[in-house]
Amino acid sequence: MKIVLFLLCLISVKALAVTTGAEQPDAFLGLLKDKQVALVVNQTSVTKGQHLVDDLLSRGVNITKVMAPEHGFRGDAGAGETISDGVDTRTGLPILSLYGSTKKPTATMLENVDVLIFDIQDVGARFYTYISTLHLVMEAAAETGKTVIVLDRPNPNGKFVDGPVREAAFTSFVGMDPIPLLHGMTTGELALMIKGEAWIEQAESLDLHVIPVKDYRKSMPWHLAVPPSPNLPNDTAIRLYPSLCLFEATTVSIGRGTPFPFQVAGHDRVALGTFTFTPRSLPESAPHPKLEGKTLKGLDLRSSATEGFDIALLLEAGKQFEQQDETFIDRPDFFDKLAGTDALRKAIESGLSEQEIRAMWQPALAKFKQQRRPYLLYPEE
């Protein structure tokens, strides 16, 4: 029996073994020969135990600069914190910020660049800004005649396609493209769709190459060995993030400034549950978090089965705030940007049921699923 169980475990591990785009240098090194290369990377850009920058330098690739998204090149900046230009102390390469006053690479930034490599781990939610950076990098490359190579990685929420599709009036850096809140696509698939659907200027002229993940299926569980940002420290936070991010536009804390961000929800005046926690200022991940220093009562979701986009959490919290005549959504404009529509907020405020709300976005969701089909690279089951 022990031998049988051991063999089953080996089969399971093998089934979950995938090879990311970055781990397939033979598939893209030929595109870099005699080229000046810029990398759009962060701390997740790891291949076989070392950073992609170090790996490519060791292979003789002519890297001229590194471009950093939200949270910075090493991933140590908090959400929304301005990223500054600098120099990587290990390699001496210039670091140019793509999060701050400049989110789209300028023509000056793309001087001495022939090829841009994008290799960043995404989490599958439309408002997670790495895919917005991808969009703008692709557009800048199309406008300046540069090649883009996307080294693909699995989507840890890849089996879910859910939530409202972003409407044009709510285009922002947390919603660049008309995709659902959970789009179920990898960065490589999204890159193909962004070009194919001409969501960027001069899309037809972009020289785009995607290096797919080997042996990947969207239904696979995917463990992120490197946290994609300071407030998504583990798989649980990544699983809960799509359901909890909209709380960022409310008076409720979702655990920033605690050891378990995006894994709890609480408030000081409206008790959402019996679990207590106190947000504290954490310079590297949550300077001056919401409800700092206050004892909050709420929900510990770390052992919950919540996954995908669970709007029941929002609806229940909204009801409790309404019953106690307390403000729930205090940043309606931001809420609408995160949702990609104002229909969700208005439905919550009108007291519609979960079933009624979910029915609202089904036609657009069905259209999106059909629209994305030509760009999918991996089996869904």
CATH number of the domain to which 219 belongs: 3.40.50.12170
Using DSSP, state whether 114 is helix, strand or coil.
coil
pLDDT (0 to 100) of residue 83: 44
Average pLDDT over the chain reads: 92
Whether the per-residue pLDDT at 77 is higher than 50: the answer is no
Q: Does residue 258 fall inside a structural domain?
A: yes
**Same domain? 261 vs 167:** no
Cα–Cα distance for residue pair 181/141, rounded to 1 Å? 26
pLDDT (0 to 100) of residue 101: 85
Q: Is 21 exposed, middle or buried (0-12, 13-18, 19+ CB in 10 A)?
A: buried
Please choose, from the candidates 334, 332, 329, the residue with its C-alpha nearest in 3D space to the C-alpha of residue 172.
334
pLDDT confidence band for 80 (50 / 70 / 90): very low
pLDDT confidence band for 72 (50 / 70 / 90): low
Q: Does residue 252 fall inside a structural domain?
A: yes
pLDDT tens, position by position, 346-366: 999 999 999 999 999 999 999
User: Do residues 168 and 108 lie in contact, with contact meaning Cβ atoms separated by under 8 Å?
Assistant: no
Whether the per-residue pLDDT at 273 is higher than 80: the answer is yes
Cα–Cα distance for residue pair 348/73, rounded to 1 Å? 38
pLDDT (0 to 100) of residue 70: 66
Per-residue tokens: 189 = 């698939």
pLDDT tens, position by position, 303-319: 999 999 999 999 999 99
> Which of 205-214, 218-227, 280-289, 366-375 is the least confident region?
280-289
Please count the helices (runs of H) and the strands (runs of E) in the chain: 10, 14
Segments forming the whole domain that contains residue 214: 18-223
**Same domain? 40 vs 167:** yes
Cα–Cα distance for residue pair 230/51, rounded to 1 Å? 18
Whether the per-residue pLDDT at 11 is higher than 50: the answer is no
pLDDT tens, position by position, 195-206: 999 999 999 999
Q: Does residue 328 fall inside a structural domain?
A: yes
pLDDT tens, position by position, 118-161: 999 999 999 999 999 999 999 999 999 999 999 999 999 999 99
pLDDT (0 to 100) of residue 74: 55
Domain count, the chain: 2
